[in-house]
């Protein structure tokens, strides 16, 4: 069955131009209108009722593609979603949330199915094939996160390089000289997952600046994995005095391994996590964090997409958020050792 995207391709115009022709929302030239009408007739295209409502901007549905990295959504991920829902509601839109991974065909069918007007992509890789799929179709989308070359696409992202760099600097200023970094799962690092790669980059840059040893490990997103990684870390590097991590699903196990090794947090071992501040209060001792403004970033993603939908000529906007250090119970000076 032909779609509105097929009509746009055959007529040699954008998807939004076909939408305007069907809805009468904006004036288009007679020559363009005739090309669209001819494409409709040749393809025998019949927009369904939902597609008509979308063309008339009555349903106002946008999609969020948020593939889960683990079996459940974390507190931070839920904050992203809630922020996006709130922003969509404020602007008179509905949000369709999909937590399932999509291959190229799934994404193409989702975009061309006429259900949503635009997409917010989450969990971005530095070379993300989803961006190429949507860009080739001319389908409106924005990113929460960013690729290695995001020119031409609006995004909201956390400055992960700054976050880990700030965490290292804070620990060094408190006397720590051997600081480990625990990343996301190995497959995410290997696949170029943006937060994992950029956080590691910030860590490496900063320990090198201070001429400190580099100790970085990947860790699967489970408590058991966190326990095993930290147990091995402390065996291989017994003089490590602090850990920085953004792997919040593994932190409970990390804590357990530290305590079993006879180390007391924060008297002689410190933790800093790059996660949502709400998650930090769930651990004992409570976590010192580089606070991740997930709710605000979810809102920003929706607002960037709506700007793109309502003004297709608008220039791409890039928003880079900085994490803020919040002191809690899990960090202290190395001098307490």
Residue partners of 110: CB distance under 8 A and separation at least 6 = 63, 65, 98, 102, 116, 119
Q: Are residues 332 and 204 in the same domain?
A: yes
Closest CA to 117 of 88, 146, 87, 90: 88
Task: Supply the range of the domain harboring residue 43.
Answer: 1-49
For residue 180, the domain's CATH number is 3.40.50.2300
Residue 167 lies inside a defined structural domain of this protein: yes
Residue 67 lies inside a defined structural domain of this protein: no
Quick check: 125 and 132 in contact, CB under 8 A?
no
For residue 44, the domain's CATH number is 1.10.260.40
Last residue of a domain, one of 13, 29, 49: 49
Q: Are residues 329 and 203 in the same domain?
A: yes
Residue 283 lies inside a defined structural domain of this protein: yes
For 104-148, what is each residue's pLDDT tens digit?
777 877 777 667 888 999 999 999 999 988 888 888 999 999 999
pLDDT in tens, the chain (337 residues): 677 778 888 889 887 788 777 766 567 788 888 888 888 888 887 665 445 554 454 457 888 888 866 566 667 778 888 899 999 988 888 888 887 767 777 787 777 766 788 899 999 999 999 998 888 888 899 999 999 999 889 999 999 999 999 999 999 999 999 999 999 999 999 999 999 999 999 999 999 999 999 999 999 999 999 999 999 999 999 999 999 999 988 999 999 999 999 999 999 999 999 987 777 888 899 999 998 888 899 999 999 999 998 887 789 999 999 999 999 999 999 965 4
Residue with tokens 């065996």, as numbered in its chain: 235
> What is the pairing mode between strands 324-326 and 288-291?
antiparallel
Instruction: DSSP letter for 313, please.
Output: T
Tell me the C-alpha distance between 120 and 138, whole Å.
14
Residue 43 lies inside a defined structural domain of this protein: yes
Domain count for the chain, please give it: 2
């Amino acid at each position: 069955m032909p779609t509105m995207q097929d009509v746009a391709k055959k007529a040699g115009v954008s998807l939004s131009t076909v939408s305007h022709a069907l809805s009468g929302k904006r004036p288009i030239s007679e020559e363009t209108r005739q090309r669209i009408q001819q494409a409709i007739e040749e393809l025998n295209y019949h927009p369904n009722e939902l597609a008509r409502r979308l063309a008339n901007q009555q349903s106002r549905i946008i999609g969020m593609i948020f593939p889960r990295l683990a079996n459940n959504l974390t507190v931070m991920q839920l904050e992203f979603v809630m922020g996006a829902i709130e922003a969509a509601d404020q602007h008179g839109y509905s949000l369709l949330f999909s937590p399932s991974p999509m291959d190229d065909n799934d994404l193409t069918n989702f975009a061309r199915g006429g259900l949503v007007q635009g997409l917010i992509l989450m969990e971005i890789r530095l070379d993300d094939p989803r961006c190429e799929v949507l860009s080739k179709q001319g389908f409106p989308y924005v990113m929460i996160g960013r690729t290695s070359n995001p020119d031409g696409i609006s995004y909201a992202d956390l400055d992960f390089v700054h976050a880990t760099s700030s965490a290292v600097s804070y620990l060094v200023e408190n006397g720590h000289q051997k600081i480990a970094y625990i990343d996301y799962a190995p497959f995410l690092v290997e696949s170029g997952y943006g937060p994992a790669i950029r956080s590691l980059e910030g860590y490496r840059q900063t320990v090198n600046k201070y001429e400190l040893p580099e100790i970085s490990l990947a860790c699967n997103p489970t408590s058991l994995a966190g326990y095993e990684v930290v147990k091995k870390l402390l065996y291989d590097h017994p003089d490590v005095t602090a850990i920085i991590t953004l792997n919040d699903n593994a932190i409970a196990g990390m804590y357990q391994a530290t305590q079993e090794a006879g180390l007391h947090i924060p008297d002689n071992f410190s933790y800093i996590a790059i996660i949502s501040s709400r998650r930090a209060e769930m651990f004992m001792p409570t976590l010192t964090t580089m606070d991740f403004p997930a709710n605000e970033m979810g809102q920003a993603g929706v607002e960037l997409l709506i700007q793109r939908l309502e003004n297709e000529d608008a220039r791409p906007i890039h928003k880079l958020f900085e994490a803020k250090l919040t002191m809690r119970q899990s960090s202290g000076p190395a001098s307490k050792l």
